[in-house]
Amino acid sequence: MKVFQENPGKSSLINKPDNAECQKDKQSKSGWSGKKKMFFYGTGLLAILWFLVRVIPKPSRAAYPCQQASLSIGAGFILWLCGFFVSARIFKQLRLARIKGNYVLVSSLIIAVITIGFVTSLSNPSAVFGEPKSVEKDFFSPTDPPLTPMGTARGIFPGRVVWIHHQKATPWNGVNGFWWEDGNTNIDEVEKMFSQSIKRLSGHSSDAEAWKGIFMYFNNQHDKGLSDYKPGEKIAIKINMNTVSSHTSNPGNLTNSSPQVVLALLRQLINIVGVEPSNISLYDVSRPIANVIYDKCKAEFPTLNFVDFYGGDGRQKYSVDSTCRVKWSEKLTLEEEGGNDTYLPTCVSDADYLINLGNLKAHNLAGVSFCAKNHFGSFIAKSNEFPSAAAPKAAGVHPYAVVHQLTFWTYMQPRDMATYNTLVDLMAHNDLGEKTLLFMVDGLYAAPEQGSKVGLSTKWVSEPFNNQWTSSLFVSQDGVALESVCLDFITAEQKVSSDMVHVFGNVDNYLHEAARAENPPSGTFYDPEGDGVGAVSLGVHEHWENDFTKKYSRNLGTGDGIELISDSVYESSTVNVAPIKSKNEFQVYPNPATEFIRVSSSEIIHGQVSLELVNMKGILKILEMGTMQGDSFLKVIDVSKLEPGFYSLVIKVNGQVADSKKILVN
């Protein structure tokens, strides 16, 4: 509407909309309504809060795609907010400078406004913070082909790794109590697993003869002749207490060494070998040893020694052997407070033998954490500023074991293949890796990462676990071979379910370096004692034939690599199991296929059915699973994203191969 206003000495015609129209006009020009502003501010703040809440308790989550998205939104919001307030201040100064005629200042302020506008208008905050790596693209993939061993195998049977898999050892329902409680981990079954592992490792039929063979091999390799264990000799056992914060803390369902596995090992050494408990030290000098292990073992063997970071409560605080140093083969200068002198505790240097008991899990920095990474709790280093700081940080080892891009600890960059790795120095040290009588990996309950909880969602779906606990124990006299086998297992699981394990980057660099320690790909002169005598091959490394046969070159008789010996006992997931009557009970159509295939059977099926679609290289491409209770079976598999070619469809019922078909995908 038109409004005429009279002004003394001047008349004007003013187009003045009413108040509602004015507000609408302002909103249309700015593009911002109250709801839009609230949504913008709320989204930015929630993204920041979500990122902090998820990442602070567990920094490895920063690599997850959802956290990368939250970081981008939150970072963009912070940039915009900073730019808004700074620009408002600059505009105020710009107006004052123009009034005063200070055109030099005016020009400078205009340039500042343009710069801020350019930065805050970037639609992709990664242009400022750096492009985050895709998690999927960073998944571990071996650089060496299958069945190409490197290094020199060790052991009574060179390169032998024993894998014991008994589902009865892990009866936990995943809901009640904690995995490490006696009702949820069967100590009797664990003892059977342990007995079977050492007998298969040594080739003897009794536990006593098995241990005798293991000690005689070790002593002969260390110029002590073919001698058995002698009374009075000391044994140090490195356990893993990585998630424990105090003696009394309840680790919940986080993973550390299993109390039942530790107790089974002690019973073997004390009751079978005849070692006095006072000559055995369980240790982790970077963490406290929790009551869940201490109470159980101390009650049965009161004179047993426990050595940890704090001491007290019946434990001994570590003592430093200033004459036994770890001399890193490269100067460690990359980590904050790193580069400090590193020594071993007396419980290790005084021991005649060492047993390394690691865990089966991935690691958000080193890729995996088995026996080699377990030694980050075997040494002492103190910085001047933080004398009580954890030894790995004070020594500065972390940046030299990083295998993939980190979104936390940004000063650490991923190590390429053929580069120095601190793990190899620990594996090669005369009082650590080279003093190890037995390498063991506790895989009763595997965790996705070192700080992850075990639960129903962390059961493994790969064969032969089939959505059950891993329920496994790995044992070897060859540390490199054992690490290689565990890496193959964990990689196979990631191919079919990346939620169960998170393995990224150049994971097997340390295995290539260790296998060829006398002439490693990096060219490093590994001499962890600093005595001028370089390390020799620390064992044999290779990757298995494929994820299904799980065979290595010694199994196949084609090379001098690894031999995997297995003893796997399954439990059916159903009570009434109908055996497979004959082959070719299943029909697969269409074949050739372009988009999908249907798998059906007119027979009555009881139990778990798994359909494994494998390419001609033996790599699992699709896994479908289902449980049937009497109905005829029908399953549709989407093959539209597969590369054209021939595939094998392996059909299993309750873990047994029922049929196999060759499929052509166009």
Tell me the torsion sign for CA atoms 133, 547, 240, 335. negative
SS3 label, residue 245: coil
| pTM confidence score | 0.69
Distance linking the first and last C-alpha atoms of the chain: 71
Q: Give the H/E segment covering residue 646.
A: strand 645-653
SS3 label, residue 348: helix
Q: Which amino acid is at 606?
A: H
Contacts 24+ apart (CB under 8 A), 419-422: 419/509, 419/522, 420/329, 420/330, 420/513, 420/522, 420/524, 421/509, 421/510, 421/513, 421/522, 422/328, 422/332, 422/397
CA pair distance 280, 660, nearest whole angstrom: 52
Q: Which amino acid is at 452?
A: S
Q: Which of 200, 195, 190 is nearest to 161 (CA)?
A: 200
Q: What pLDDT is recorded for position 111?
A: 63
Q: Which amino acid is at 376?
A: F
pLDDT one-digit tens code per residue, 164-176: 999 999 999 999 9
Give me the residues of the chain with pLDDT under 50, please: 1-32, 58, 60-61, 63-66, 119-137, 570-583
Give how far Cα 606 sits from Cα of 7, 568, 610, Å. 96, 22, 13
Strand order through the sheet with 656-665: 620-629, 606-615, 645-653, 656-665
CA pair distance 331, 340, nearest whole angstrom: 10
Q: What pLDDT is recorded for position 550?
A: 92
Kindly report the number of other CB atoms within 10 A of residue 10's CB atom. Answer: 7
Tokens (6 digits) for 577: 């199991």
HEC assignment per residue over 436-480: EEEEEEEEEEEECCCCCECCHHHCECCCCCCCECCCEEEEECCHH
Contact, 150 vs 515, CB < 8 A?
yes
pLDDT one-digit tens code per residue, 111-160: 655 555 554 444 443 333 333 333 334 578 899 999 999 999 999 999 99
Q: What's the angle, vertex CA 428, arms to CA 427 and CA 431, rounded to 5?
A: 90
Q: What pLDDT is recorded for position 123?
A: 40
Q: What pLDDT is recorded for position 308?
A: 96
> What kind of fold does domain 586-665 have according to CATH?
Immunoglobulin-like (2.60.40)
Residue extents of the structural domains in the chain: 23-132, 137-222+233-569, 586-665
For 263-363, where are the E strands, in sequence order?
280-284, 305-308, 316-317, 320-325, 342-345, 353-363
pLDDT one-digit tens code per residue, 34-80: 655 666 666 667 766 766 765 565 454 454 444 555 565 666 667 66
Contact, 485 vs 443, CB < 8 A?
no
Pairing state between β 353-363 and 305-308: unpaired
SS3 label, residue 35: helix
